[in-house]
Amino acid sequence: MRIMKKNILTITAVIGLILSGCSKFETNLSFKQSVEKNVAKINDAAATIASSNGYQLITLSGDQAKSETGYADSIKLDLIAGIYDYAPDTLFIPRMSCIPYKLFKKTGTSDKLIINMPQKVIFHPKYLFNFYHADSAYNHNNFTITANDYHNYYTFADLFDYKLAAGFTLKKEDIGSLDLVSKANRFTNRSYSSKFTFPKGYSIDVEFATGDTTTSSFALAEDNSVLLKETNIFIGTEFNRMGERQYLLTIGNVEIKKSTGIDSIQVFLNDVLQKAAAVKIIDSAASTGSIFHHRDLKLTFDDGTTTNLSNLIHPALSTLRSLTDSMNSMYFAKNIVDYIAYDIYYHQYKINFRP
């Protein structure tokens, strides 16, 4: 009987340890302690992401990459599937100026789109358009894009259906994966979701939808546990907003909620409304309703002390701002992956097989 009781106590203790380890956030901390602990995780995550090759990849912009989108056509994965190596054809000159030079040579078959190219070309895409080089850096196809899903259907600006799911490796090491979906059936009815997952478990997820209301969100997570999430819901379309219906900000196990019809901003800790805590939203004239663009929050903790959220996450703000801007613009997919897909498609179907 004593042995049975001892076993029961041991099993109970083990179960308790397992259950306590299932939560990323401690439930016995005050509002202030929770915010400080959660913010530290956000700053650590942003620092890790900022030092990664995946961050360099997803935030390509400006002079680094091509600015125009390319050709009005529809491309499916099965039309361009295969293994391709970066091998510019400097002898072939397209008859049409809008058609790119032939940049890739098919070297194998696959049901995926696998592209091998030099690291220098992918991180400095301007070199995609100036490919006659003596530099030995262009002789090593050490960067690989592996797309297991891709399609790009569109006719006019207000009607398109886009999908990209791809992983990326540099010198055979995983640097992250991108999953992007974008659709529109008219100019005022559009949606997209874009998620980039980094090798160490961090991920960035951006979503947007506009119609009668406009909803946008940005989330930073670690192993599917949300560290920071901001959601805006506006009345009206993207270009005709008539007021903010709801604003939600999640910082770990802390949720801040502003809703129409409720006088004060509500603060929840572990889903429990906090009566001693308070939050005031500070917007500048240029604010888009986001902490990444001229919105700040003044936090009043349960002990009466105050601070601005921008002070707490200052180390992370610049990194997260560049990520949300890049993910919203879909810059990498539009200006690099699409350009490569168009190059392969046009040289395989529109030029080589032209009657």
Residue 334 main-chain phi, psi, to 5 deg: -65, -45
Q: What does the pLDDT look like over 240-254, one tens digit per residue?
A: 666 788 999 999 999
Is a pLDDT exceeding 60 seen at residue 343?
yes
Q: Where are the domains of the chain?
A: 47-351
* pLDDT value at residue 134: 55
Confidence band for 46, pLDDT divided at 50, 70 and 90: very high
In terms of pLDDT, which residue wins out, 65 or 154? Answer: 154
Q: Could you tell me what percent of the chain has a pLDDT over 90? A: 50
Q: Give whichever of 10-24, 56-70, 168-182, 328-342 has the largest mean pLDDT.
A: 168-182
Rounded alpha-carbon distances, angstroms, from residue 42 to 282, 309, 314, 324: 21, 12, 10, 15
Is a pLDDT exceeding 50 seen at residue 106?
yes
Q: Could you tell me what percent of the chain has a pLDDT over 70? A: 77
For the chain, the average pLDDT equals 82
* pLDDT value at residue 93: 57
CA distance linking residue 65 with residue 57, whole number of Å: 11
Residue 180 main-chain phi, psi, to 5 deg: -135, 135
Is a pLDDT exceeding 80 seen at residue 283?
yes
* pLDDT value at residue 6: 43
Confidence band for 239, pLDDT divided at 50, 70 and 90: low
Confidence band for 289, pLDDT divided at 50, 70 and 90: confident
Is a pLDDT exceeding 60 seen at residue 112?
yes
* pLDDT value at residue 185: 78
